[in-house]
Structure 1
Amino acid sequence: MRAPAALVATAALVAATAMVVPAHASATSCYGGAATLHYGDGAFFGPYTASSRCTDINMRLTAGTSAEVYACVVFIDHTQDCNRWTTVPKGSWRTIATDVLDGTRFEVLLGVPLEGDDATVQIAF
């Protein structure tokens, strides 16, 4: 009787591990393809093409004198206008455009709160 109990416990552990790994793997593949941009080198970045790695366009501020940046996505095959401004604070990832179809071409406009601030950001798409 002990063998079946051990087998059930092992199977449960394997099933739990299998359920956890894909969620982590998908997050890694999205952010793993991130591009690094330096505000100060310019304010308009791209063009980029959305990929199957991420459903959304994500950004995080990683370094620089600015505590936050303002980001706006322009879907260049459809408009020259900014979709909406998003504040991206230093540290964690922030979604700057949602439900972006694979193959969509876009540019990112960045701004900082104070003249003279610099910023390094990552963008995952």
Structure 2
Amino acid sequence: MSLLLGARAPSRRPDEPPWPCPALAAGGSLRYGRRPASRKRGAGMKTTRAARRFRALAGAVAGTMLGAAVAVMPGTAAHAASCYGGAVGWNSSASHDNVMLPNAITGPNRWTTTSRCGDINFWVDGGTGTFNADVRVCFDRTGCQGSWKQFGTGDAEKWKVIATDVRDGTKFRIEINYRFVPQGGRRYGGKVAF
């Protein structure tokens, strides 16, 4: 009440806590089940062998889970290996018409994203010649992306992200628009990781 009326709070020593509770002032805790700092572990409180084993096991499990989570974090080599390790192959002939992948002739009619990758990644094999094409992703629910990712000289044998932050379980296809169709056609191939 005195603080509300403008009176000064009583001064305290520098080592005195700002609260009046004696348990907290002695370095203790008000949490249920915690012993005050004044009681030492050996003073009447025994830790059972089962409790020590449980703590050791809980620490080992937590450490293992943390290590596994860090090992597969996005941007790490382990994440890239798990993402690209599940890639599926694609093949297509250069055409004046846009090509949709996958096509129902060679496999499933749609691909479905997984938890391995957060993005959809596209790879063109290097031995197939220069892949001059634009690529975009077409989702079942929302339709095709408005922008195209361009592939050309120097893009072979490299992963390129063509859609980011895609939810797991999303069905999609990939549309390829060839900018240059060599006379006699040419067959291209690569991988898609999702």
Report the TM-score range of the alignment, normalised by the length of the smaller protein.
Answer: 0.7 to 0.9
Identify the structure with the greater strand proportion. Answer: 1
Which of 1 and 2 has greater Rg? 2
Q: What code does the residue aligned with 1:64 have?
A: T
TM-score norm. by structure 2 comes to 0.49
CA distance in structure 2 between the partners assigned to 1:83 and 1:49 by the alignment: 20
Written as runs of structure 1 = structure 2, the 5 A alignment for 1:1-125 is 22=72, 23-40=76-93, 43-46=99-102, 47-62=110-125, 63-79=127-143, 81-88=144-151, 89-115=155-181, 116-125=185-194
**What is the CA deviation profile of residues 14-73 of structure 1, one whole-angstrom value per residue up to 9, with x for unaligned ones?**
xxxx7x954222111100011111112982113111110000000111131233432110
Q: What code does the residue aligned with 2:131 have?
A: A
CA distance in structure 1 between the partners assigned to 2:94 and 2:180 by the alignment: 16
- Give the Å deviation of 1:77: 1.9
Identify the structure with the greater helix proportion. Answer: 1
Relative distance call for 1:64 and 1:48 in structure 2 (3 A) is same
CA distance in structure 2 between the partners assigned to 1:109 and 1:30 by the alignment: 21
Which portions of structure 1, spanning 4 or more consecutive aligned residues, are displaced by more than 4 angstroms? none
Q: What code does the residue aligned with 1:35 have?
A: V
What secondary structure sits across from 2:123 in the alignment? strand
Count of residues in Structure 1 that have an aligned counterpart in Structure 2: 107
Relative distance call for 1:101 and 1:50 in structure 2 (3 A) is same
Q: Which structure exhibits the higher relative contact order, with contacts defined as CA atoms closer than 8 Å and separated by 6 or more residues?
A: 1
Relative distance call for 1:69 and 1:109 in structure 2 (3 A) is same
TM-score norm. by structure 1 comes to 0.73
Q: CA RMSD in A?
A: 2.4
What secondary structure sits across from 1:107 in the alignment? strand
Listed as ranges, the gaps of 5+ residues in structure 1 are 1-17
Listed as ranges, the gaps of 5+ residues in structure 2 are 1-66, 103-109
Matched residues, percent identical? 30
Relative distance call for 1:38 and 1:93 in structure 2 (3 A) is same
